[in-house]
């Protein structure tokens, strides 16, 4: 017998958009929070979630295991987050290269790079997450928010599971140190 969630996934796989909307409404806050933790920008987090949901909606018929919906959504969102982080890096490198060139006053170009948002409704942990590297942050949030094991995180992110454990260990140590400094 299928649970209500599995039944909704089965309906969504058959093209029922209302069922997909119900599935999305059950997890959208978690998806957004995960994206926000990793991108540090509310608009980019919302965009990443939106892009992931569109991809999921168009590809749900290919989901083989009805129990895997949430993990599948996280994998799609993780890919969107990684792309956005790569865009940040490319934009910063482009600005650095522009600033090192002498433009002679011509074409003063500036790219709008999202600034890190430092306050999230008083949640101090999010501020501490800014001290983690991209990979530490991704592994930490998947572990803490979703309870994934290092092997599961490895499958989601494509990072070797031993490396995931290293990222988790370093990330947790940094967070503990920062929390300890506040007390």
**Half-sphere exposure at residue 38, Cβ-oriented, CA atoms within 13 angstroms:** 35
1-88 and 118-183: same fold? no
- As a whole number of angstroms, the distance between CA 63 and CA 36 comes to 26
**pLDDT value at position 183?**
61
pLDDT of amino acid 59: 94
At residue 97 the predicted structure's pLDDT band, cuts being 50, 70 and 90, is low
C-alpha to C-alpha distance for 118 and 116, rounded to whole angstroms: 6
Q: How far apart are CA 22 and CA 153, in angstroms?
A: 26
> Exposed, middle or buried, 38 (CB in 10 Å: 0-12/13-18/19+)?
buried
Q: Tell whether the model's pLDDT for residue 90 goes beyond 50.
A: yes
The rounded distance, in Å, linking the Cα atoms of 22 and 69 is 12
Q: Which of the 8 DSSP states describes residue 114?
A: P
* 118-183 CATH fold: Arc Repressor Mutant, subunit A (1.10.10)
pLDDT in tens, 156-179: 888 999 999 999 999 989 988 887
Q: Give yes or no for residue 106 having a pLDDT over 50.
A: no
User: For residue range 5-64, what is the model confidence (pLDDT) as tens digits?
Assistant: 889 999 999 999 999 999 999 999 999 999 998 888 889 999 999 999 999 999 999 888
pTM assigned to the model:
0.68
Is CATH 1.10.1740.10 the classification given to domain 1-88?
yes
Mean pLDDT, rounded, for 110-126: 49
What mean pLDDT value characterizes the chain? 81
Which tokens in the block code for residue 180?
A: 């300890």
Decide if 73 contacts 52 (C-beta within 8 A).
yes
Evaluate if residue 122 carries a pLDDT over 60: no
- Token output for 155: 């499958």
DSSP 8-state assignment for residue 15: T
Other Cβ atoms less than 10 A from the Cβ of 163: the count is 15
CA distance to 39, 71, 95, 179, per residue, from 35 (Å): 6, 14, 25, 22
Domain definitions of the chain by residue range: 1-88, 118-183
Q: Which is more confident, 111 or 9?
A: 9
């Amino acid at each position: 017998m299928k649970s209500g969630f599995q039944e909704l996934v089965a309906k969504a796989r058959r093209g029922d958009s209302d069922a997909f909307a119900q599935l999305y409404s059950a997890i959208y806050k978690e998806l957004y929070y995960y994206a926000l933790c990793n991108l540090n920008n509310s608009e980019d987090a919302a965009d990443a979630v939106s892009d992931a949901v569109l991809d999921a909606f168009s590809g749900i018929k290919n989901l083989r295991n009805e129990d895997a919906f949430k993990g599948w959504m996280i994998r799609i969102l993780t890919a969107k987050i990684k792309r956005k982080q790569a865009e940040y890096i490319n934009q910063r490198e482009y600005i650095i290269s522009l600033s090192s060139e002498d433009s002679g006053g011509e074409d003063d170009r500036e790219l709008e790079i999202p600034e890190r948002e430092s306050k999230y409704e008083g949640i101090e942990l999010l501020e501490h997450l800014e001290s983690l590297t991209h990979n530490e942050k991704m592994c930490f949030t998947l572990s803490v928010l979703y309870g994934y094991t290092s092997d599961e995180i490895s499958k989601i992110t494509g990072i070797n599971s031993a490396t995931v454990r290293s990222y988790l260990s370093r990330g947790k140590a940094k967070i503990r140190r920062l929390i300890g400094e506040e007390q």
